[in-house]
Amino acid sequence: MPTAIHPFPGGAEGAWNSIAGTRSGLAAALGWKSIGVLELTALQSIQRKSWVPAVREADVLIVSGGDVLYLCHWMRESGLAALLPELTNTVYLGISAGSIAMTPYNCDAEFNREYVPGGSDMGQDAEHALALVDVTLYPHLNDPNMPDTTLQNIGRWAAGIPAPTYAIDDDTALRIVDHEVEVISEGSWKLFTP
């Protein structure tokens, strides 16, 4: 699902990279038997019987990064957010924004508001994500291209969040099954408790 990248400049190229399995979309190039593309912005305009069976049959849903606010909006609008809790045998593989969207709080809310179209109410309640897991995530810890991802900045943000917050770098992932969190890491991470 490349939807989250569309609001940013170069979004079309980013969506293609996600689909083609290049650069930031490497998860799509892991050697799957088959792969499909689900564009959330199109789902409201087609019948559910055209896409819901494919989602139910998928072993893995790869949700790419980008704008958390935009992704959450279209997950709700499309009906996918309501469907996700029913997919108990499906792996949800979120990358950056794709991961943040599952948490209760959007650590990128201020940044995401910059990309809300004028006249849209999409920015309302931007601080909240879908809350399908019990913990919050702040990815890209210490990324030199993202100055807000220092441990100090993340700690300040996490201090106002009433949920455990994981600060993780790009060599770290969270595996969450039945509300149990396992950190899988070859890099750096820190847990902030409320």
pLDDT tens column, 111-150: 988 889 888 888 888 999 999 999 999 999 999 999 999 9
Residues 168, 136: Cα–Cα separation, whole Å: 11
The pLDDT of residue 49 is: 96
pLDDT tens column, 62-111: 999 999 999 999 999 999 999 999 999 999 999 999 999 999 999 999 99
Amino acid at 128: H
| Reported pTM | 0.93
Reading the block at residue 147, the tokens are 């100055």
Confidence class for position 24, pLDDT limits 50, 70, 90 = low
Q: Do 129 and 106 touch, CB atoms closer than 8 A?
A: yes
Residues 9, 26: Cα–Cα separation, whole Å: 20
* Whether 118 and 171 share a structural domain: no
Residues 102, 18: Cα–Cα separation, whole Å: 19
Last residue of a domain, one of 128, 153, 184: 128
Q: Pairing relation of β-strands 60-63 and 91-94? A: parallel
Cα 129–Cα 3–Cα 33 angle in degrees, nearest 5: 110
Could you tell me if residue 157 is inside a domain? yes
The pLDDT of residue 19 is: 81
Domain holding 10, by residue range, is: 1-17+36-128
Quote the percentage of the chain above a pLDDT of 90. Answer: 78
The pLDDT of residue 147 is: 92
Distance of CA 7 to the CA centre of its chain: 14
* Whether 59 and 108 share a structural domain: yes
Number of domains in the chain: 2
